Amino acid sequence: MKQEKLSILYFILKGRTLKSGEAPILLRVTVGGDYDEARIQRSVLPSLWDRAKGCCKGKSKASNELNEYIRELNVKLLTIHKELVLEEAYITPKLLLRKLFSLEEKRTVHQSFLEHNDECRRQIGVNYEAVTINRYDNCARSLATFIQQEFDKEDISFTELNGVLIRRFEVFLKVEKQLCQNTVVRYMKCFKKFVNMALANDWIKKDPFIGIKFKQEETNPVFLTKEELDLLIAKEFSVERLTLVRDLFVFSCMTGLAFVDAKELKPEHLFRDNDGNLWIRKGRHKMKRNKANCTSNVPLLETAQQILEKYKDHPVCIQKGLCLPILSNQKMNSYLKEIADFCGITKNLTTHVARHTFGTTITLANKVSLENVSKMLGHSSTRMTQHYARVLDQNILEDMMTVEKRLAANV
């Protein structure tokens, strides 16, 4: 794109002198025959103004300061023009003056992060889940605290956002906020997504995350052993709510459904195959945008069918058209802790432990293939299911059983 020549001119308004007798100084910027003007917020006595050179006469301190300010404006204006030329932007005198005097909207990091979160919040149920937005909000709050602590101000500009700041923010989350490594990684991924958006909008010129990688720690999923699950199933509770929560938990142990998917389970998600076997076929809630690859296909075991039959006429199920009267996740987890105490189970029992139990004790421990377990859990790939296989590696067990037999034979 051809760029017209930039012309810079300083002049005074003699007809609009101030009470001090000085005349305001104006800057005229011309590009390709078009021009625009702006006051530079400086003034000078008309007798001291050199019209030809566009500067102040004399060598007094006031004259030198005014001329230095004009030179700085020239350098800044030429730099702005050069940057716009390199970007192949459409350059106008008005644009140059706005950038020169910072009349454009000044964007700051934390405020822009909040605006980003608000925009994502409007897309809950479409492109985002509420839990994701909550994580973005937590990250933004931590960032605000970090900025106040590190810079003693409410916000920072995007020019201050660099790799050093990213690393310091990571340390802040670990040390000051005392977050575990995996939570820190989740927060930093949220922040990185926001920074990518800022890069796309040209709010920042260089990616501060270049060369920075975050690694999550491997975690071992908590699950119930067969003995613990049998104990739980056989336990009699005098309190009805505990019996209900136990049954709902066992249902998830037998189907592998996550809490939200079990809560949303409707009769339309149940079907019988040609042999009369009852199945669950349901797209996972958290994977709504990729249902084709993330659909749970689970043949129902007898225990799960009995639970469905037991609660099909429950008032909540009839009123809402659901298969199970599942409580809130908070109440379920609270009651599960009571149940664990009654059963003598020392593990931290939560609704998600049921899904882990299905992936290990119910399936992999009974030699169900990793591929089939992946399909039943609704995983998009076996890589996710491998997480359970690492905990309960049947190949290791089978190999050691072989060793045991050989040692016994040699005795």
297 beta partners: 281
**Contact 96/83 with Cβ under 8 angstroms?**
no
Kindly indicate whether the domain formed by 226-398 is annotated with CATH number 1.10.443.10: yes
Smallest CA-to-CA distance from 29 within 104, 101, 105 is with 101
**Contact 209/170 with Cβ under 8 angstroms?**
no
195 beta partners: none
pLDDT at 290: 44
pLDDT at 1: 43
pLDDT at 401: 76
Q: pLDDT digits over 114-148, tens only?
A: 999 999 999 887 888 888 899 999 999 999 999 99
- Classified by CATH at the fold level, domain 109-200 comes out as DNA polymerase; domain 1 (1.10.150)
In the chain, where are the structural domains located? 6-100, 109-200, 226-398
* Burial of 270 (C-beta count, 10 Å sphere; 0-12/13-18/19+): middle
**Contact 163/209 with Cβ under 8 angstroms?**
yes
pLDDT at 163: 93
**Contact 217/182 with Cβ under 8 angstroms?**
yes
Strand arrangement, sheet containing 270-272:
270-272, 278-283, 295-299
Q: What is the maximum alpha-carbon separation in the chain?
A: 116
DSSP-derived 3-state class of residue 125: coil
pLDDT at 366: 87
Backbone angles phi, psi at 6, to 5 degrees: -90, 130
Report which secondary-structure segment, H or E, holds 85.
Answer: helix 61-86
pTM, rounded to two decimals: 0.58
Q: What is the CA radius of gyration of the chain?
A: 34
Smallest CA-to-CA distance from 17 within 60, 49, 64, 53 is with 49
Q: Mean pLDDT of residues grouped by 10 in the chain (411 residues)? A: 78 87 93 90 91 92 93 92 86 88 74 93 84 93 94 90 94 93 93 93 88 80 91 94 96 93 93 92 63 73 95 94 93 95 94 91 88 85 73 65 79 58
Tokens of 178: 């005392």
pLDDT at 134: 93
Q: pLDDT digits over 363-386, tens only?
A: 988 888 888 988 888 887 777 777
Cβ count within 10 A of residue 381: 10
Q: In Å, what is the CA distance from 256 to each residue of 140, 212, 253, 280?
A: 34, 36, 6, 11
pLDDT at 288: 47
